[in-house]
Structures are given as structure tokens and as C-alpha cells.
């Protein structure tokens, strides 16, 4: 049991889940941003772990990761930062978004332990597909943590077996390719999401490339919610200086809040 599997998240409509990178632009600032997102009314937060070789990410998140690593970011720091955010009043469900190598490096058990301490509800590892996830899935089950699975438009016959083990929510990848903003999406996607919703026992959230208010509305009408990453991460990156300055950080946080509220509106 965790906050993702609770009724509040499972029964909510038009879920909105933003992705931010821990330690981006700094450890402290990323915690404040997480708290700001909660104020803006988001339904959960994806908490990214910086990694040297983020295969599934486009340039925006790659650069944010490089910046975060310069600021001391790592899996350990991400866990520590979330623990602190919880102490400062963060209530929203949180999903740790990390590549598999940092997790292997720290060790599955230790990561789960750290997640429990930081009250992190789910984990999403883009380069750990279904076939490779058995061991971690077992550990997550025992710890009551949701292992979030990705489903792609090309998953076809794999869709059923992945959705059968869906936990927390299913992450439907709305475009082939990496994360990053997109102008347009294939029409086939809405059909495919509808198919998925028929067999899924948990909400289906759409993400990858969604960046504007219209796109958010569009996908909320098809899926059970949306995830926005690169657009927000870029917005944060552009305010790096302000976020780091004592005088301007309040204003920058306010802008981030308004940006998100605009996306949800």
C-alpha cells in the first residue's frame, strides 16, 4: 500500500503529474520546487535521478541531469532530498524516476530501504523492461512500493502482459523517441490508449513530449492523466539564476507555480 494505490489517487480524474530532476538546479532549490508543485495542485510528482547516460531522454533532461550532477546530484541525494521534502510538508505521491545502473550500483535492497524512509511511493526505471524486472518487482511488492511500467505504441502483443502487472499507474509513452517537447502526435495513439484502458486495472497516464495546455487537455480527454517533463524542466532551467538568488527565488517559484497552474487550467 502506498499513496498511489490509495483511493484518492486511483479515483481522481484528469490527473496531472509533473517530472522534475532532483538537485536541479541545486539540492535545496529542487526541494522547494517540489513543494511549489504541491501548492499548484499536482496529483503526484516524478522525482528524477541524474545519470551520465540517460538513454530515454532528450537534450533538455540530459542537460538538467548534467547540471544536477555538478550540484552533487545522485540517487543517494535524491532519496535524501525527498526525505527532507517530506519533513517540510510534501504530501503528494512521489515516483522515483531513475535509470537502472545507479540502482544496481547502490543495490536493489538499499534503494528500497531508502525509498521507504523517504516515503516514496513508486519507482520507474525506463531501461528495465518487463523481462528484466522480476527481481525488483518482487522486492517492490514486499515493500508496498509500486513498480511503474512503461507501455509504448509499439508494445503491441506485449501490452497485455505488461498491463496485467500494472501497479500504481501505467505510463503510456505518447511518442516514439526520447523525452522532449513535440508539436504533434500520431492519431493512432488515442486508439491504442483506449485499447490499453480496456485491460488496465490501474489508471493510464500519458507522457513524453506533452508540453502545452492544449496537449494536456487533449490527452486528459483520452487517458486518465498526463505527465509533463521536458517543458517544465526547461522552464526551471531558464530560471536557474533566479532560483539561486536570495532576492529572486520567491518570484521564480511563483512563476513555476503559475506555469503549472496554467497547464492544468
Partner 1 sequence: MNPIVKFCGMRSFEDYQKAVSTEASMIGFIFAPSKRQVKAADVSEWTRAKPYKAHQQLVGVFVNESVDKMVQQSIEAGLHIVQCHGSETIEEVTAVKKGTGALVYKTIHHHEGALEEMRQYRDIADGFVVDTKTQDAWGGTGVTFDWQAIPKYTEEANRQNVPCLIAGGVTVDNLAKLQRYRPLGIDVSSGIESDEKKDERKMMAMTKAVNNTYQAPDYLGRFGPFGGKYVPETLMFALEELEKAYESIRHDEEFARQLHKELKEYSGRPTALTHAERLSDHYGGATIYLKREDLNHTGAHKINNALAQGLLAKKMGKTQIIAETGAGQHGVASATVAARFGMSCKVFMGAEDIRRQELNVFRMRLLGAEVIEVHSGGKTLKDATNEAIRHWVANVHDTFYLIGSVVGPHPYPMMVRDFQSIIGEESKKQMNERIGKLPDEIVACVGGGSNAMGMFYPFINDDVKLTGIEAAGKGTETPEHAATLTKGRKGVLHGSLSYLLQDEDGNIIEPYSISAGLDYPGIGPEHAHLRDIGRVKYEAVTDDEAMAALQDLCQFEGILPAIETAHALAYVKQNAQRMSKDQVLLVCLSGRGDKDVHTIQQVLGGDNQ
Residues that bind partner 1 (CB under 8 A): 51-53, 55-56, 58-59, 62, 66, 69, 74-76, 99-106, 126-132, 149-152, 154-156, 158, 162, 173, 176-178
46, 80, 121, 224: which one is catalytic? 46
C-alpha cell at 210: 506533452
- Min CB(214)–partner 1 separation in Å: 23
Residue 78 or 243 having the CB closest to partner 1? 78
- Min CB(4)–partner 1 separation in Å: 19
Contacts of 174 (CB under 8 A, 6+ apart): 153, 182, 185, 189, 206, 207, 208, 209, 210, 219
57, 80, 167, 224: which one is catalytic? 57
Contacts of 193 (CB under 8 A, 6+ apart): 172, 204, 206, 222, 223
- Min CB(142)–partner 1 separation in Å: 22
Task: Please classify residue 89 by burial: count the beta carbons closer than 10 Å to its beta carbon, then call 0-12 exposed, 13-18 middle and 19+ buried.
Answer: exposed
Residue 70 or 213 having the CB closest to partner 1? 70
C-alpha cell at 31: 526541494
Contacts of 191 (CB under 8 A, 6+ apart): none
Query: Rounded distance, CA 171 to CA 208, Å?
Result: 9
**Cis previous bond, 25, omega within 30:** yes
Residue 104 or 241 having the CB closest to partner 1? 104
Query: Rounded distance, CA 229 to CA 234, Å?
Result: 9
Residue 53 or 251 having the CB closest to partner 1? 53
- Min CB(54)–partner 1 separation in Å: 8
Query: Is 57 assigned a catalytic role?
Result: yes
SS3 179: coil
Query: Rounded distance, CA 146 to CA 179, Å?
Result: 22
Query: Rounded distance, CA 179 to CA 175, Å?
Result: 8
Residue 92 or 170 having the CB closest to partner 1? 170
Query: Is 53 assigned a catalytic role?
Result: no
- Min CB(14)–partner 1 separation in Å: 24
Residue 162 or 260 having the CB closest to partner 1? 162
Query: ∠ CA 77-128-2 to the nearest 5 degrees?
Result: 60
- Min CB(225)–partner 1 separation in Å: 18
Q: Catalytic residue positions?
A: 46, 57
Amino acid at each position: 500500500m502506498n499513496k498511489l494505490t490509495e483511493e484518492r489517487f486511483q479515483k481522481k480524474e484528469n490527473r496531472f503529474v509533473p517530472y522534475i530532476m532532483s538537485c536541479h538546479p541545486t539540492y535545496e532549490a529542487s526541494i522547494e520546487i517540489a513543494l511549489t508543485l504541491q501548492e499548484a495542485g499536482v496529483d503526484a510528482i516524478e522525482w528524477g535521478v541524474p545519470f551520465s547516460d540517460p538513454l530515454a531522454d532528450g537534450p533538455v533532461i540530459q542537460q538538467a541531469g548534467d547540471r544536477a550532477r555538478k550540484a552533487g546530484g545522485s540517487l543517494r541525494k535524491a532519496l535524501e532530498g525527498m526525505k527532507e521534502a517530506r519533513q517540510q510538508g510534501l504530501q503528494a505521491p512521489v515516483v522515483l524516476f531513475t535509470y537502472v545502473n545507479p540502482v544496481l550500483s547502490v543495490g536493489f535492497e538499499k534503494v528500497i530501504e531508502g525509498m521507504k524512509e523517504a516515503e516514496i511511493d513508486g519507482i520507474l526505471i525506463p531501461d528495465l523492461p518487463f523481462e528484466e524486472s522480476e527481481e525488483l518487482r518482487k522486492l517492490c511488492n514486499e515493500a508496498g512500493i509500486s513498480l511503474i511500467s512503461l507501455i509504448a505504441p509499439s508494445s503491441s502483443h506485449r501490452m497485455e502482459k505488461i498491463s496485467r502487472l500494472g501497479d500504481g499507474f501505467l505510463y503510456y509513452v505518447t511518442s516514439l523517441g526520447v523525452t522532449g517537447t513535440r508539436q504533434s502526435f500520431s492519431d493512432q495513439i488515442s486508439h491504442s490508449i483506449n485499447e490499453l484502458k480496456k485491460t488496465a486495472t490501474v489508471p493510464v497516464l500519458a507522457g513524453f513530449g506533452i508540453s502545452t495546455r492544449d496537449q494536456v487537455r487533449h490527452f486528459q480527454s483520452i487517458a486518465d492523466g498526463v505527465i509533463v517533463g521536458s517543458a517544465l524542466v526547461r522552464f526551471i532551467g531558464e530560471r536557474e539564476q533566479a532560483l539561486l538568488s536570495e532576492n529572486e527565488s520567491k518570484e521564480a517559484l511563483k512563476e513555476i507555480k503559475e506555469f503549472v497552474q496554467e497547464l492544468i487550467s
